[in-house]
Amino acid sequence: METEAAVSFLEKQGIKPSYPRLRIYLYLHERKNHPSVDMIFTDLSPEIPTLSKTTVYNTLNLLMEKGIVQALTIEEKENRYDIDTSVHTHFKCESCGEITDIPGEYTNIELNLPAGFLPRERQLYVYGTCPGCS
């Protein structure tokens, strides 16, 4: 994604595109690795010496509030973040730790919720071994 397009998109979403916000947004577009806050901070701090983990957390929370990013709770100790907010499955390899997006067609599991239950979000996580590790 081009920087100008990213600035325009963030502005249309009501987000002031400060340099850290813009770089975090572009980082999520450039890397589809479902990064954690620590990964984002470690990768961007050489480029942005004033970057703090608080800024990363706050930016991700803002992007989530706007529906631009979703948090994955696929790991016990930390959230991972995905810019793809479409309905899809996440596969975590228990050998190498990589998280892979699986297309939406595998998420067509029928939910028969009792009357009155209104789901806000649905996540499907699959754990196993990826083709590279099997």
Residue 89 is encoded by which pair of tokens?
Answer: 């499955």
Instruction: Please tell me whether residues 116 and 94 are part of one structural domain.
Output: yes
On whether residue 134 sits in a domain, the answer given is no
pTM for the whole thing? 0.85
Residue 34 is encoded by which pair of tokens?
Answer: 């479902």
On whether residue 133 sits in a domain, the answer given is no
CATH of the domain at 70: 1.10.10.10
d(CA 123, CA 72): 8
Answer yes or no: are the C-beta atoms of 106 and 125 closer than 8 Å: no
On whether residue 73 sits in a domain, the answer given is yes
List pLDDT tens digits, range 54-72: 999 999 999 999 999 999 9
Instruction: Please tell me whether residues 19 and 68 are part of one structural domain.
Output: yes
Of 33, 54, 1, 12, the C-alpha closest to 23 is: 1
Domain, as residue range, for 123: 89-128
On whether residue 70 sits in a domain, the answer given is yes
Instruction: Please tell me whether residues 55 and 30 are part of one structural domain.
Output: yes
List pLDDT tens digits, range 6-37: 999 999 999 999 999 999 999 999 988 899 99
> Which ranges of 1-134 would DSSP assign to H, the alpha helix?
3-12, 19-30, 37-44, 53-65
Q: Say how many domains are in the chain.
A: 2
